[in-house]
Structure 1
Amino acid sequence: MIKKIILILFISLIFETVIAQTNKQIEIFDISKGEVLKYIKVNIGLQQDAETFLKGITGLYVRIDPIPSEGYLVKIPLDPSFLVKNQWINELVDEVIIVFSTREAPYLMVFDKENRPLFFTFEGDTDTFLTKLNFTP
């Protein structure tokens, strides 16, 4: 009985560790394939780039269907959370998703405190960011 409890605790500890490590990674998701292509360990430089993109918000991205059928999503966790405050949003953001469409300039997706997605246009050097990720769409 004690062996079973220890085994269950050990397995749950491993599972929690794997989940925690996954949440601390940048994910590059191929929309058309429906799968993550690459995991990249988060570092301060990449987080600072994501924060720069959030500071560079220029407006709301308004389309009926904001997720394209082709392209890539790059999810960047932010730890600690980053306060985004402008005329369109006033939220602590703990992750940002950059949407790379094959037909238009990249834009951002963040979630508000009610977990609703918000989409924004922004200014920023995404080419250099992709180079740092060693990824070319």
Structure 2
Amino acid sequence: MIKKIVACLLILGLLTNNFVFAETNAGIEIFDITQEKVIKTAPVTPDIQQEAAMYLKGITGLYPKINPIPKQGFMIRIPLDPKIKVENQWFNNTVDEVIVIFPVNEDPFLLLFDGQNKALFFNFKGDTGQLMNKLNFKR
């Protein structure tokens, strides 16, 4: 149990620390949850930012699980420049990065941070296969 809590705190700590690196490391990062490290980086392209914008427009609701960070899978952090305004019944703020979480054997979901740096998790409609192809990354 303690290991799970420490792992979740470590992952969230790594994700929030990325704000410090936003100016110097504005690339896409693919983070392996099991290995607890970034396994691939890629430059941000307009195509990938457009994919992320479509995911934001496709938000369908809050992610329902109490412990949203899976034990296995990966996360893709996509910086957004310019920021994107997200307005729906669950979230109303500008977003400067999107984190797409890919759990094993589940649909992907989004992690966003609000104006107070609070982590919020959302289900969305969208084809993540195109993102994976553009990043040349396979599950």
TM-score, normalised relative to structure 2: 0.83
- Distance of 2:96 and 2:23 partners within structure 1: 14
Aligned to 2:56: 54
For structure 1, the residue ranges without an aligned partner over 5 or more in a row are 1-17
In 2: Cα distance, 1:103 partner to 1:118 partner = 21
Q: Does 1:64 align with 2:66?
A: yes
RMSD over aligned Cα, in angstroms?
1.2
CA shift digits 1:37-83 (9 cap, x unpaired): 10100011100100000000011102110000100000000011100
Report the 3-state secondary structure (helix = DSSP H, G, I; strand = E; otherwise coil) of the residue aligned with 2:65: coil
SS at match of 1:79: strand
Match of 1:126 in 2: 128
Count of matched residue positions in the alignment of Structure 1 and Structure 2: 119
Letter in 2 for 1:57: I
Superposition pairs of residues 93-132 of structure 1, within 5 angstroms: 93-132=95-134
Q: Which residue of 1 aligns with 2:3?
A: none
Instruction: Tell me the CA shift for residue 103 of structure 1.
Output: 2.4
For the pair shown, the structure with the greater C-alpha radius of gyration is: 1
Unmatched 5+ stretches in structure 2: 1-20
Give the aligned residue type for 2:52: A
Match of 1:92 among 80, 91, 94: 94
1:107 counterpart letter in structure 2: F
